[in-house]
Amino acid sequence: MLNISHYKIIAIGKIKKKWIQEGIEMYLKRLPGLKIIEIKDNNQTKEEHMIKEIITKNEILVTLNENGESLTSNQLATKLLNSHNQNIIFVIGGASGLPPSLNNSASWQLSLSHLTFQHEIARLLLIEQLYRAKTITQGGPYHKE
């Protein structure tokens, strides 16, 4: 079973759309222990510096970008389960994306889709997929919905 308290999300920018915030809040109630750290929109150099200050040596860095690994929900659940509850920190860029140097320093890169999403929607999708991964590993019915 996945231990969600081992996961963090660093996200550039604030959630401005009420319906997205409501969706995120719904999933966060189902994922107690998941931490989200918001970083103010800035230039990529400052954002990268702030992100690197947050990440500790014992955390696995996973960046979200369109060139990342494309997984099914079951594959993501398996990959997270096989991480043996290591501390994983997911990073979602802002409107400009993430700098190549940060993507290159990641342990792995994840693509939510071949489509490009606004950062707010990407955050909601990632949180939903973390919830789905948790239910898959528990054998729960959510994945069938």
Q: Domain count for the chain, please give it.
A: 1
pLDDT tens-digit series, residues 21-54: 999 999 999 999 999 999 998 889 999 999 999 9
pLDDT surpassing 70 at residue 143: no
In Å, the largest CA–CA distance within the chain is 43
Of 64, 37, 55, 48, the C-alpha closest to 99 is 48
CATH number at residue 18: 3.40.1280.10
Q: Which two tokens stand for residue 52?
A: 């690197």
Alpha helix positions (H), the chain: 18-30, 44-54, 73-81, 100-105, 119-138
- HSE of 6 in the Cβ direction (CA atoms, 13 Å)? 15
Please tell me the distance from the alpha carbon of residue 107 to that of residue 38, in angstroms, as a whole number: 21
pLDDT surpassing 80 at residue 12: yes
The domain of 122 spans 4-144
